[in-house]
Amino acid sequence: MKGIVFTEFMEMVEGKWGLDMVDDLIDVVNPDSGGAYTSVGTYDYQELVAYVVELNKRTEIPVSDLVYTFGTYLAASFASKFTDFFNECESTIEFLTHVDDHIHVEVRKLYPDAELPKFSYEQHSADALTLHYESTRNLADLAHGLIIGCAAHYGDKIDISRSGEVRDGVAYEEFKLTRIP
């Protein structure tokens, strides 16, 4: 997984629980990388999973909530780092329709080794969208957080209902989005 995900994660931990928590997590997980993450490197996805599990132990916040929270955090961070992508669009819904065939495409150009999820969608109206997530990594919660984070950026109020399943190691999740005016 791309280093940016790790550095953002550590930033979030540091911001929310302090630098010592970062040290604790690294000390306990003791990853091969030694925890010396840089945004431009690439690291084992399992290290991230281990941190989340350890964080859950220490904070007693459910893993799904942690991942979701990370999503919202990540969205905010992306919004400041990749402003162009956000400026191209006017609304959350419009932005989400660009993720799969534009944003992640550009991401892959920048990081050829990135492993990105697949998104497809049906747009019902300017304010209603169904987004389908598909990935070998079960990170639907992250996606959920990212969506909410994006909505925050655009100042949209979005109602989301989710349903999903894991089949043959592949996670499928459906997000029904409605913007509340």
Partner 1 sequence: MTDDAPRLQRRYEREKRARIKAESILEQKSRELFATNEKLVKLSESLEQQVNERMQDLERARDEALASVHAKTQFLANMSHEIRTPMNGVIGMLRVLKTCEDKKKSERLIDTALESGHLLVSIINDILEYSKLDSVGIELERERFDLAAALDSVIQTFAANAHSKGLDLITAVSPALPSEFIGDATRIKQVVGNLLSNAVKFTDAGEIAVGAMRSADGSVEIFVEDTGIGLSDEEQKKIFSAFSQADISTTRKFGGTGLGLSICSKIINTFGSKICIDSKIDRGSRFYFHLNLPVANERSLAKEYQSKLAQTAVVLVSRSRARKIYLQKFFHEIGLGWFECCEHLTEFDPDYISNDFNCFLILDQDTPFDLEQSVAQVQKLAISNMEIMTLVNFENISGTQSEFFQLTKPLHHRELLDKITGIEVAEKQVEAHVESFDFSGKKMYVVDDNQVNLDVAKELFEYAGFDVVLGHNGLEAVEYLQENAVDLVLMDIQMPGMDGLSASRTIRSFGGKFLDLPIIAMTAHALDSDRKKSLEAGMNDHITKPIDVDFALTTIAKLLGVEAKAKPVEATKIHQEESRYTTEYLPEVEGFDFPSALRRVRGRELKLIEFVLNLAKNMADAPERLEQFIDAGNVGEAQQLAHQIKGSGANIGASALSKAAADIEQQFKQGIARPDRASRHIFHEEIAKLLKLSKDVEPVLAAKNNAKGSLSEREFIDLLKAIDVSLKTDLGEAQTLIDKLYQSTAQTHYEAIVSNIRSSYDAFKIADIHALIESTLGGIRKRE
Residue 147, Cβ neighbours under 10 Å: how many? 28
Considering beta carbons, is residue 80 or 125 the nearer one to ligand HEM?
Answer: 80
Nearest to 68 by CA among 170, 160, 140: 140
For residue 50, what is the DSSP state? H
As measured in angstroms, the least distance from the Cβ of 7 to partner 1 is: 9
Alpha-carbon radius of gyration of the chain: 16
117 belongs to the binding site for ligand HEM (CB under 6 A): yes
Nearest to 140 by CA among 124, 123, 117: 117
As measured in angstroms, the least distance from the Cβ of 108 to ligand HEM is: 9
2 belongs to the binding site for ligand HEM (CB under 6 A): yes
Name the segment binding partner 1 (CB under 8 A); options: 37-45, 49-57, 94-102, 150-158. Answer: 37-45
Q: Give SS3 for 160.
A: strand
How many residues bind to partner 1 according to rule CB under 8 A?
12
Tokens 């840089």 belong to 38
Considering beta carbons, is residue 72 or 135 the nearer one to ligand HEM?
Answer: 135
For residue 88, what is the DSSP state? T
Q: Which does 5 bind (CB under 5 to 8 A by kind): partner 1, ligand HEM, none?
A: ligand HEM
155 belongs to the binding site for partner 1 (CB under 8 A): no
Characterize the bridge pairing of strands 170-179 and 158-167: antiparallel
Task: Tell me which of 107, 128, 152, 178 binds ligand HEM, using CB under 6 A.
Answer: 107
How many residues bind to ligand HEM according to rule CB under 6 A?
23
Q: Which does 41 bind (CB under 5 to 8 A by kind): partner 1, ligand HEM, none?
A: partner 1
Pairwise CA distance, residues 104 & 117, whole Å? 9
**C-alpha 18 chain-centroid distance:** 21
Positions that interact with ligand HEM (CB under 6 A): 1-2, 4-5, 78, 82, 85, 96, 99, 103, 107, 114-117, 135, 137, 139, 142-143, 146-147, 150
